[in-house]
């Protein structure tokens, strides 16, 4: 048997894409609550206000386009815009039904995130919001009833909006202490109910989506470097707090990592891939090794980056590394210095270079049957820490057929290949793998585009891109297939 006996099979969601209830029971606004919807070809926008009352909407960073709000603009909720996170797929009012569906599939684990602004509505409030804390009590109690181990992300692109308005987001090191207090509050409250925690979802997204990942209003390098540093120190303090409270608690890192291939055998393409890996893994290098890798120090010197750091930060980073490593991986990408050649051969798609050996979905994401084995080996061989695949899945515009069902054989095919790839990493390569949580196990709003039609779930939710629909839950064919996978511990795919 390839997977360990206690392998944590399950699914994953994020509060801002799933919960809705954006202004209920004392919840404050979250950074994403002021993000509009976009599409496969147009970015989501941040809506803002100037002190003189002028308002507007600016596209978030998208495919390397620089992002900058007008001077003095602060993100704000405006009339006349559609904000997908406000109702999402309404887990806030459907949690009993949804957790029951997860239990029916046999989930041994459920990855969710806490909406920070539900607990500290302004981020730096004197007291936490009891109603917010109580909501998650109910969730964790149900998880216990069903024997599902929760895996909880403290900040899955969730940041109280007030912390952006007041401090400009994670570029300000004051957020470290604010986050530490939040972490301590929830560790204490949920002690005995939650053992596994993650600090920042896809921490390296600071480089690709600075507003979403760190509440930055500008994609300049200096702010991004400081935001990353502050999140590193905040993560180390979370590890310290968790261990001081309960030796059983484990706090992991979460990275977005997918393999990249050179488009040609030109060594320049191979260098591009090497640099891509350096940049992706920089975050894990720091969170496991406690020091900045040399290439990054050189880059900061070259770019004249000034970190607002302290000597004791580095002691914390050394003393409190992440307990385990988790990552998201959906496919793979291709890099090249020969864009012209790729365009001429028809291999340049909406998401950059298309891999002629792989299929892509309608959003240009390549489905790669070997991506997990490759990614797991890179991470295992470099860090030798227990690994956890916490996001993987296929975004598809599922259609309800006349029989009232969703026949998502394409999703089953994708998952068969991906789970098999993971199995090879365990069986053939000896990777220590703790679990697998398929992304968006019950349909939710897309993070990248804010759309509803980009669905990942085993369960369909009746809701469209404009917020209409009954919110009824309908198990897809993949629901029954995954049930069997879990029952046989991955032996029967
Ligand atoms: C990851 C995020 C998730 C999720 C997923 C799929 O980057 O951690 O929040 O949404 O990607 O992306 P999308 O929703 O854009 O399809």
Regarding the beta carbon of 256 and ligand 1, being less than 6 Å apart is answered: yes
Coil, strand or helix at 342: helix
Regarding the beta carbon of 45 and ligand 1, being less than 6 Å apart is answered: no
427 part of the active site: no
Burial class (CB in 10 A: 0-12, 13-18, 19+), 110: buried
The reply to whether 42 falls in a domain is no
Q: What is the rounded CA–CA span in Å between residue 20 and residue 91?
A: 7
Phi/psi at 423 (nearest 5 deg)? -65, -40
For 391, residues 6+ apart whose C-beta sits below 8 A from its C-beta are 12, 327, 328, 329, 330, 437, 438, 439
With the most atoms of ligand 1 within 8 angstroms of its CB, the residue from 85, 256, 328, 414 to mutate is: 328
391 part of the active site: yes
Regarding the beta carbon of 451 and ligand 1, being less than 6 Å apart is answered: no
Protein residue with its CA nearest to atom 4 in ligand 1: 447
Q: Which residue is associated with the tokens 């340049």?
A: 348
Total count of domains within the chain: 1
With the most atoms of ligand 1 within 8 angstroms of its CB, the residue from 205, 439, 465 to mutate is: 439
Residue 145 confidence (pLDDT): 98
* Gap from CA of 353 to ligand 1 centroid (Å): 20
* Gap from CA of 306 to ligand 1 centroid (Å): 31
Protein residue with its CA nearest to atom 2 in ligand 1: 447
The reply to whether 75 falls in a domain is no
Domain range spanning residue 238? Answer: 8-22+86-487
Given the DSSP bridges, would you call strands 149-155 and 196-200 parallel, antiparallel or unpaired?
parallel
Residue 1 confidence (pLDDT): 62
Regarding the beta carbon of 218 and ligand 1, being less than 6 Å apart is answered: no
CATH, residue 382: 3.20.20.80
Which of 141, 391, 424, 427 is catalytic? The answer is 391
Protein residue with its CA nearest to atom 10 in ligand 1: 447
Regarding the beta carbon of 326 and ligand 1, being less than 6 Å apart is answered: no
* Gap from CA of 50 to ligand 1 centroid (Å): 30
Nearest to 251 by CA among 238, 265, 269: 238
Which of 141, 202, 303, 427 is catalytic? The answer is 202
The reply to whether 376 falls in a domain is yes
The reply to whether 448 falls in a domain is yes
Residue 352 confidence (pLDDT): 82
Q: What is the pLDDT along the chain (493 residues), one digit of tens a residue?
A: 689 999 999 999 999 999 999 999 999 999 999 999 999 888 999 999 999 999 999 999 876 678 999 999 999 999 999 999 999 999 999 999 999 999 999 999 999 999 999 999 999 999 999 999 999 999 999 999 999 999 999 999 999 999 999 999 999 999 999 999 999 999 999 999 999 999 999 999 999 999 999 999 998 999 999 999 999 999 999 999 999 999 999 999 999 999 999 999 999 999 999 999 999 999 999 999 999 999 999 999 999 999 999 999 999 999 999 999 999 999 999 999 998 888 888 888 767 899 999 999 999 899 999 999 999 999 999 999 999 999 999 999 999 999 999 999 999 999 999 999 999 999 999 999 999 999 999 999 999 999 999 999 999 999 999 999 999 999 999 999 999 999 999 999 9
The reply to whether 165 falls in a domain is yes
* Gap from CA of 152 to ligand 1 centroid (Å): 16
Regarding the beta carbon of 423 and ligand 1, being less than 6 Å apart is answered: no
- Ligand 1, closest atom to CA 446? 14
């Amino acid at each position: 048997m390839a997977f360990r006996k206690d392998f944590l099979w399950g699914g994953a969601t994020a509060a801002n894409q799933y919960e809705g209830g954006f202004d209920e029971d004392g919840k404050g606004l979250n950074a994403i609550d002021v993000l509009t919807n976009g599409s496969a070809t147009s970015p989501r926008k941040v809506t803002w206000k100037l002190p003189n009352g002028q308002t507007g909407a600016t596209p978030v960073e998208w495919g390397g386009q620089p992002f900058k709000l007008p001077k003095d603009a602060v993100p704000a909720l405006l009339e006349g815009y559609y904000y997908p996170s406000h109702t999402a797929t309404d887990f806030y009012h459907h949690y009993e039904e949804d957790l029951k569906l997860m239990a029916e599939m046999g989930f041994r684990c459920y990855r969710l995130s806490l909406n920070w602004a539900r607990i500290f509505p302004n981020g730096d409030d004197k007291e936490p919001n009891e109603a917010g804390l109580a909501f998650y009590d109910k969730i964790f109690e149900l998880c216990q009833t069903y024997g599902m181990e929760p895996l909880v992300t403290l900040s899955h692109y969730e940041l109280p909006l007030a912390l952006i308005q007041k401090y400009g987001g994670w570029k300000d090191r004051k957020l470290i202490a604010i986050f530490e207090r939040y972490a301590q509050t929830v560790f204490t409250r949920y002690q005995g109910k939650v053992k596994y925690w993650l600090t920042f979802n896809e921490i390296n997204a600071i480089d690709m989506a600075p507003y979403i990942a760190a509440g930055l209003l500008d994609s300049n390098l200096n702010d991004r470097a400081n935001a990353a540093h502050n999140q590193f120190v905040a993560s180390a303090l979370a590890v310290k707090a968790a261990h001081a409270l309960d030796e059983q608690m484990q706090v992991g890192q979460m990275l977005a990592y997918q393999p990249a291939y050179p488009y040609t055998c030109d060594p320049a393409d191979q260098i591009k891939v090497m640099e891509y890996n350096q940049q992706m893994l920089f975050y894990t290098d720091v969170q496991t090794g406690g020091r900045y890798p040399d290439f990054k120090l050189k880059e900061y010197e070259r770019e004249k980056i000034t970190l607002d750091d302290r000597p004791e930060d580095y002691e914390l980073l050394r003393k409190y590394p992440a307990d385990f490593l988790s990552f998201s991986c959906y496919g793979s990408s291709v890099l090249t210095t020969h864009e012209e050649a790729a365009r001429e051969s028809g291999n340049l798609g909406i998401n950059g270079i298309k891999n002629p050996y792989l299929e892509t979905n309608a959003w240009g994401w390549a489905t790669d049957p070997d991506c997990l084995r490759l990614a797991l080996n890179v991470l295992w061989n470099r860090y030798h820490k227990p690994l956890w695949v916490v996001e993987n899945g296929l975004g598809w515009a599922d259609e309800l057929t006349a029989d009232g069902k969703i026949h998502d054989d394409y999703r089953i095919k994708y998952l068969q290949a991906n789970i098999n790839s993971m199995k090879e990493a365990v069986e053939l390569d000896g990777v220590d793998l703790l679990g697998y949580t398929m992304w968006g196990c019950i349909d939710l709003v897309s993070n990248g585009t804010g759309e509803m039609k980009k669905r990942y779930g085993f369960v369909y939710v009746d809701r469209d891109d404009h917020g209409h629909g009954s919110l009824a839950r309908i198990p897809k064919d993949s629901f029954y297939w995954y049930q069997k996978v879990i029952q046989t511990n991955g032996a029967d795919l």
